[in-house]
Amino acid sequence: MHDHTLIRPGLAKRLRDADICGLSPKRGVSSNKGISAMSDFNRGMMRPTPIAAPDMAVDAGLRGFMLGVYNKVALGLILSAALSFITGNVPAVRDLLWRADAIGRREMTLLGMVIAFAPIGILLFQGFVRQQSARSASLTYWVIVSLIGASLGSIFMFYSSVGIFQTFLITSVAFGALSLVGYTTKRDLTAMGSFLIMGVVGLLIAMVVSMFVHSAALVLAINALGVLIFAGLIAANTQRLKMTYYQVGGNQEASSVATSYGALTLYLDFINLFRFLLFFMGGSRR
């Protein structure tokens, strides 16, 4: 089974504490964020609760906030795509991160492992930082996006370039549709989001088990559940971002921090959905 980018459990918990989902204790409204396992960018704010806003679907300020989040996600995905293409297709770079073992299988070098696991370390470290500035939150986003993008080069060793491109397009369309649902629905998705976070934990446990119990059925189930879980999280986390916007109010610093961590949450949702979909749509493995 191919390697998945599940850094989320940490963020998910923080967003759940401050209120979302990703790889934290509640703090005063001073500065900002709470990436919780990558979903809790509300760290410096109290738990977002559905605030009765006139009509959030047509609120100009909310649209501006969400546009800032989506722009950051889009730029992050472009950067990740470029880095993954380089690390997966340029021999001089690829050989720094992966090497062939005695029977020809690719395995990570020490540098490759550092790059692959560094995002988790960064998120854990951020959990102990009491306050975040807009600049540090933005830096965290770009560093994690770059590291994940570089580690994604491994997909070119298992899937065809055409399959990867097609899966990316399908994921993009699905992401847009699911995020739109989360943005426009009047139904409270908080309970569903919390349930899905528990699903991520179960998914991680199943993935560890699959490393020792080689079962095609288990691998299939893991990937199918992964698609469903992260599809649901895209909608739930989009709605939680709306609540965060109203909670920070006109605080520009807190809003900037929320934009960076909100983008990180949705970016991770996208990447995880993409990785699980690759199992079904990635084309011939090399």
pLDDT confidence band for 20 (50 / 70 / 90):
very low
E strands in the chain: 98-100, 106-108
Instruction: Say whether pLDDT at 250 is over 50.
Output: yes
pLDDT at res. 284: 61
| Pair of tokens at residue 133 | 């500035």
pLDDT at res. 7: 52
36 against 194, higher pLDDT: 194
What φ, ψ does residue 225 adopt, rounded to 5°? Answer: -65, -35
pLDDT at res. 125: 84
Token pair 């609540």 is found at 243
Inter-CA distances, 189 with 16, 93, 100, 196, 262, Å: 13, 43, 46, 10, 16
pLDDT at res. 267: 97
Instruction: Say whether pLDDT at 50 is over 70.
Output: no
In this structure, what DSSP letter does residue 47 have?
P
Helix, strand, coil % over all residues of the chain, rounded to 5: 70, 5, 25
Measured between alpha carbons, how far is 4 from 276 in angstroms, rounded to an integer?
7
Measured between alpha carbons, how far is 77 from 197 in angstroms, rounded to an integer?
23
Instruction: Say whether pLDDT at 82 is over 90.
Output: yes
pLDDT at res. 285: 58
Instruction: Report the percent of the chain where pLDDT is more than 70.
Output: 77
Mean pLDDT of the region 110-134: 86
pLDDT at res. 164: 93
Contacts of 81 (CB under 8 A, 6+ apart): 149, 168
Mean pLDDT of the region 62-72: 93
Mean pLDDT of the region 175-189: 94
Q: Please, what is the Cα angle at 7 between 235 and 14, to 5 degrees?
A: 65
pLDDT at res. 10: 44
CA atoms within 13 A on the CB side of 235: 21
For the stretch 50-88, what's the b/e string if a residue is b when 16 or more beta carbons lie within 10 angstroms of its beta carbon? eeeeeebeebeebeebbebbbebbeebbebbeebbbebb
Measured between alpha carbons, how far is 112 from 94 in angstroms, rounded to an integer?
9
Q: Which of 190, 109, 112 is nearest to 151 (CA)?
A: 112
pLDDT confidence band for 33 (50 / 70 / 90):
very low
Instruction: Say whether pLDDT at 219 is over 60.
Output: yes
Measured between alpha carbons, how far is 252 from 272 in angstroms, rounded to an integer?
30
pLDDT at res. 104: 67
The chain-wide mean pLDDT, for the chain, equals 81
Mean pLDDT of the region 171-193: 94
pLDDT at res. 46: 39
pLDDT confidence band for 124 (50 / 70 / 90):
confident
Token pair 């722009």 is found at 71
pLDDT at res. 251: 81
pLDDT confidence band for 105 (50 / 70 / 90):
confident
Neighbour count for residue 175 (Cβ, 10 Å): 22
Q: Which of 52, 51, 34 is nearest to 43 (CA)?
A: 34
81 against 62, higher pLDDT: 81
Q: What is the pTM of this model?
A: 0.79
pLDDT at res. 53: 44
In 185-215, alpha helices (H): 190-212
pLDDT at res. 222: 94
